[in-house]
């Protein structure tokens, strides 16, 4: 097993076996692609310190098992608000695009202290993912460690799951807080599934993560819930936590089909 989700190849990134999707042996996990895109957004320079408060990634096609070219450009510069546009391509085909909103990092006097939020039970007492798998191992099982403190991916219904990256996204580089939370958030529809994997497929064509602060530490908790409708659409929502309490929320649109 390699020691990173992606390896450098030319000017792009070659996915390793740690980046695979449980849905297909021919595609990548959206969380791996989103974390790589988040890393590229963080590399966009700024004159002053900024905080990423929203990342949205739209998957235009199933990400193939192929080298990825990731680019990020500052399209709305500013001292207080910035907007970064992201693109991810494989073999010159655009497979994902997204945006990151950054706000200035500062100190404003006279504001009330945030209400302390109680985090879920800690990961040390949670249940690991174990031998569960959908159709294939991949990013969700090889690159991520799970500790379920409510529900489980083997069960139907809402779940509360702590996740931790076992390896870096790229070699010799500690994952940033943004990379960690984005990588974890894309698991919301899986950990809180309300459908049988053998009867339905429920793939998210997008991921949006809103943050009111960056998480601290390796572990990210998803308090996840999925809703589906007879029309074949759905949504997975997660309250995001670290050990200190809430950090934000994530949402995935779901395309639901029969197998």
- Where does residue 140 rank: exposed (0-12), middle (13-18), buried (19+ CB within 10 A)? buried
Nearest alpha carbon to residue 52 among 74, 70, 30, 28: 74
CB neighbourhood size of 111 (10 A):
7
Instruction: Answer yes or no: is 115 within a domain.
Output: no
Q: Which helix (H) or strand (E) holds 31?
A: helix 30-42
pLDDT of residue 114: 76
188, pLDDT greater than 70: yes
Instruction: Answer yes or no: is 36 within a domain.
Output: yes
150, pLDDT greater than 90: yes
* Average of per-residue pLDDT values in the chain: 93
Instruction: Answer yes or no: is 250 within a domain.
Output: yes
135, pLDDT greater than 70: no
Find the domain containing 174 and state its range: 6-105+124-258
Which residues in the chain belong to E strands, given as ranges? 6-9, 12-15, 50-59, 68-76, 81-90, 93-104, 144-150, 159-165, 200-203, 206-211, 220-228, 233-242, 245-258
CB distance 18 to 142 below 8 Å: yes
pLDDT of residue 118: 79
Residue 133: pLDDT band with limits 50, 70, 90 = low
pLDDT of residue 132: 59
Q: How many domains does the chain have?
A: 1
For 2-59, how does the pLDDT look when each residue is reduced to its tens digit (9 = 90+)? 699 999 999 999 999 999 998 888 899 999 999 999 999 999 999 899 999 999 999 9
Q: How far is CA 78 from CA 19, 84, 97, 102, in A?
A: 35, 11, 22, 10
Nearest alpha carbon to residue 96 among 222, 221, 22, 186: 186
Share of the chain above pLDDT 70, in %: 97
The pTM of this model reads 0.94
Nearest alpha carbon to residue 138 among 177, 176, 98, 183: 183
Residue 76: pLDDT band with limits 50, 70, 90 = very high
Kindly report the CATH number assigned to the domain that includes residue 254: 2.40.160.210
Instruction: Answer yes or no: is 110 within a domain.
Output: no
pLDDT of residue 112: 83
Instruction: Answer yes or no: is 111 within a domain.
Output: no
Share of the chain above pLDDT 90, in %: 81
Residue-wise DSSP of 11-24: TEEEE-GGGB-SS-
For 191, residues 6+ apart whose C-beta sits below 8 A from its C-beta are: 146, 148, 151, 153, 159, 161, 222, 224
For 196-245, how does the pLDDT look when each residue is reduced to its tens digit (9 = 90+)? 888 888 999 999 999 999 999 999 999 999 999 999 999 999 999 999 99
Q: Which helix (H) or strand (E) holds 37?
A: helix 30-42
Beta strands at 220-228 and 50-59: parallel, antiparallel or unpaired: unpaired
């Amino acid at each position: 097993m390699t020691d990173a989700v992606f390896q450098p190849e030319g000017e792009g990134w070659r996915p390793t076996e740690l980046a695979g999707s449980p849905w297909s042996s021919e595609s990548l996990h959206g969380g791996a692609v989103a974390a790589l895109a988040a890393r590229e957004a963080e590399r966009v320079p700024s004159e002053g310190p900024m905080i990423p408060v929203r990342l949205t990634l739209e998957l235009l096609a199933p990400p193939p098992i192929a080298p990825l070219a990731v680019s990020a450009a500052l399209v709305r510069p500013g001292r207080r608000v910035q907007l970064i546009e992201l693109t991810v391509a494989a073999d010159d085909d655009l497979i994902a695009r997204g945006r990151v909103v950054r706000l200035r990092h500062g100190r404003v006097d006279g504001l009330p202290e945030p209400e302390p939020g109680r985090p879920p039970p800690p990961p040390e007492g949670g249940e690991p993912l174990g031998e569960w798998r959908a159709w294939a191992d991949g990013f969700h099982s090889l690159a991520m460690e799970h500790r379920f403190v409510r529900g489980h991916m083997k069960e139907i219904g809402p779940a509360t799951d702590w996740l931790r990256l076992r390896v870096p996204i790229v070699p010799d580089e500690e994952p940033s807080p943004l990379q960690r939370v984005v990588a974890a958030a894309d698991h919301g529809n899986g950990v809180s599934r309300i459908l049988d994997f053998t009867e339905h497929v429920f793939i998210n064509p997008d991921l949006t993560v809103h943050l009111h602060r960056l998480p601290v530490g390796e572990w990210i908790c998803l308090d996840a819930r999925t809703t589906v409708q007879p029309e074949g659409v759905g949504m997975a929502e997660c309250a995001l936590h670290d050990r200190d309490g809430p950090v934000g929320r994530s949402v995935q649109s779901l395309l639901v089909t029969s197998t």
